């Protein structure tokens, strides 16, 4: 199996965490996020993966090298100017092997899922379709484009976000493409799979099918979603072939320091060189490399970028703290707060 991972987006919804890093390399359960996708592809039988990069393109190869550690062959492709999801796929396609008759798996590089990838490939073949989209049902589809299907699983429309969606089915960002469809995407210009390629296929009467699954699915595109996905992996609510064991209440890197009276829970992940001080509570949170939580602080549902520091007795709930930012003592920051990279939040009372 060959695959392309689309990993060149700006990740602006994840700012400030994506100011200095592509979202695909942010640690999720203490591993660069793409590690989970690559391990899963290898598990499903992929042997060659093309990474379609653009934003912070040079950051990927030093992390994954030739892919052999993951049992894969990796090829890196860079767009000097981001070409959108379709343009990126077309650009990456030139680096796929010539494997006539074998479809290509395409992943958005920010989805965590445990659906049956081999089953999706087989389903597309059995249906005689040219594209298969992984679909999931979400409780509130208003924030997403919807993808209705008929009783045979054939996609009938691609609908934009709406206040009154006709279905709870949404595009989960994992596709199987017949190679003829990839080759037909225009080269050298910006193309959106979602807004141009898929609607164009339907208009032309091509057979596009949905592969609906009821398992775990998350889009790690926001700080809250990234923190949740990390905690779900740590607790074993979703399995990643890159993580051994059944999961637990926290994952602490061997090179982190956690004082004996600190409390870690809720699937928190503590990265290398991070420090959790005496009596501090870290619950359902991500502490990246070198982040520090001082004594008596409480950090809940939050993410601290590399080198970020949280002062004594400070409380964070649902906060994203950028790289090397410093939050003073006795502060209280609530849901949705984003602290820019390198910023300083003064001690409370000053
Ligand atoms: P936001 O800026 O937060 O919306 O994130 P994003 O830029 O990553 O966009 P989005 O989540 O819609 O992208 C879905 C997937 O496609 C992600 O894995 C992106 O990295 C990837 N992607 C989006 N645009 C491009 C592009 O122009 N080139 C490449 N190579 N990948 C892209």
Q: Residue 87 Cα, ligand 1 centroid: separation in angstroms?
A: 11
Which residue out of 3, 5, 8 has the highest number of ligand 1 atoms within 8 Å of its CB and is therefore the one to mutate?
Answer: 8
Phi, psi (rounded to 5 degrees) for 211: -120, 95
Section 289-300 average pLDDT: 98
Tokens of 54: 């653009």
So what's the pLDDT on residue 255? 98
Asked if residue 16 has a cis previous peptide bond (ω within 30° of 0), the answer is yes
pLDDT, mean of residues 68-79: 97
What is the position in ligand 1's atom list of the atom closest to the CA of 54?
30
**What is the three-class DSSP state of 100?**
coil
CATH architecture, domain defined by 249-345: 3 Solenoid (2.160)
Question: What is the CB neighbour count within 10 angstroms for residue 62?
Answer: 8
CA distance 153 to 343: 50
Domain boundaries, the chain: 2-219, 249-345
- The string of DSSP codes covering 32-91 is EHHHHHHHHHHHTT--EEEEEE-TTGGGSHHHHTTSGGGT-EEEEEE-SS--HHHHHHHH
Pocket test for ligand 1, best of 9, 28, 92, 160 (most atoms within 8 A of CB): 9
Concatenated DSSP letters for 336-348? T-EE-TT-EEPPT
Structure tokens at 139: 């409780």
pLDDT digits (tens, 9 = 90+) for 242-276: 998 888 999 999 999 999 999 999 999 999 999 99
pLDDT at 208 over 80: yes
Q: Which atom of ligand 1 is nearest to the CA of 92?
A: 30
Closest among 266, 295, 294, 298 to 281, alpha carbons compared? 298
Question: 85 alpha carbon to ligand 1 midpoint, in Å?
Answer: 7
Neighbours of 152 (CB within 10 A): 9
pTM of the full structure: 0.96
Question: What is the length of the chain?
Answer: 350
When the pLDDT of each residue in the chain is averaged and rounded to a whole number, the result is 96
Residue 63 corresponds to which tokens in the numbers above? 């992390």
**% of residues, the chain, pLDDT over 90:** 92
Report whether residue 54 contacts ligand 1, using a CB cutoff of 6 Å: yes
Q: Which CATH superfamily is domain 2-219 in?
A: Spore Coat Polysaccharide Biosynthesis Protein SpsA; Chain A (3.90.550.10)
CA distance 104 to 101: 10
Whether the pLDDT of residue 349 is over 90: the answer is no
Give the residue among 18, 26, 210, 194 at the shortest CA–CA distance from 112: 26
> What would the pLDDT profile of 175-198 be if each residue is shown by its tens digit?
999 999 999 999 999 999 999 999
Q: Which residue has its alpha carbon closest to ligand 1 atom 13?
A: 9
pLDDT above 70 for 200: yes
Helical spans, DSSP H, in 56-197: 61-64, 84-93, 117-127, 179-184
Nearest to 23 by CA among 234, 232, 253, 222: 222
Residue 186 neighbours by CB distance under 10 Å: 13
Q: Which one of 6, 16, 53, 84 would you pick to mutate in the ligand 1 pocket, going by the greatest count of ligand atoms within 8 A of its CB? A: 6
Dihedral of alpha carbons 161, 167, 169, 175, sign:
negative
| Angstrom distance (rounded) from CA 312 to CA 329 | 5
**Tokens, residue 141:** 């589809």
């Amino acid at each position: 199996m060959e695959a392309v991972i689309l990993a060149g987006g700006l990740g602006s919804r994840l700012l400030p965490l994506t100011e200095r890093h592509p979202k695909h390399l942010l640690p999720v359960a203490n591993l660069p996020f793409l590690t989970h996708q690559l391990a899963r592809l290898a598990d499903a039988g992929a042997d060659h993966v093309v990474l379609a990069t653009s934003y912070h393109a040079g950051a990927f190869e030093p992390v994954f090298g030739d892919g052999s550690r993951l049992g894969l062959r990796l090829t890196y492709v860079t767009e000097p100017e981001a070409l959108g999801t379709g343009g990126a796929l077309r650009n990456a396609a030139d680096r796929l092997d010539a494997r006539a008759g074998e479809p290509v798996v395409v992943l958005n590089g920010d989805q965590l899922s445990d659906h049956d990838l081999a089953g999706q490939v087989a389903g597309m073949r059995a249906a005689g379709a040219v594209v298969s989209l992984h679909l999931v049902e979400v409780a509130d589809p208003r924030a997403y484009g919807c993808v209705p299907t008929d009783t045979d699983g054939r996609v009938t429309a691609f609908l934009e976000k709406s206040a009154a969606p006709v279905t709870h089915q949404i595009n989960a960002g994992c596709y199987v493409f017949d190679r003829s469809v990839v080759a037909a995407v225009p080269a050298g210009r910006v193309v959106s799979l979602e807004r141009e390629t898929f609607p164009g296929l339907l208009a032309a009467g091509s057979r596009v099918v949905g592969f609906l699954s009821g398992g775990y699915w998350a889009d790690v595109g926001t700080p809250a979603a990234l923190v949740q996905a990390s905690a779900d992996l740590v607790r074993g609510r979703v399995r990643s072939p890159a993580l051994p064991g059944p999961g637990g209440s926290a994952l602490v890197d061997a090179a982190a320091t956690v004082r004996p009276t600190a409390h870690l829970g809720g699937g928190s992940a503590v990265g290398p060189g991070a420090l959790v001080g005496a009596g501090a509570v870290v619950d359902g949170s991500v502490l990246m490399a070198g982040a520090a939580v001082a004594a008596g602080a409480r950090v809940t549902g939050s993410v601290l970028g590399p080198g970020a520091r949280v002062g004594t007795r400070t409380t964070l709930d649902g906060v994203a703290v950028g790289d090397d930012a410093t939050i003073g003592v006795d502060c209280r920051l609530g849901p949705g707060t984003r602290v820019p990279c390198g910023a300083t939040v003064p001690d409370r009372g000053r």
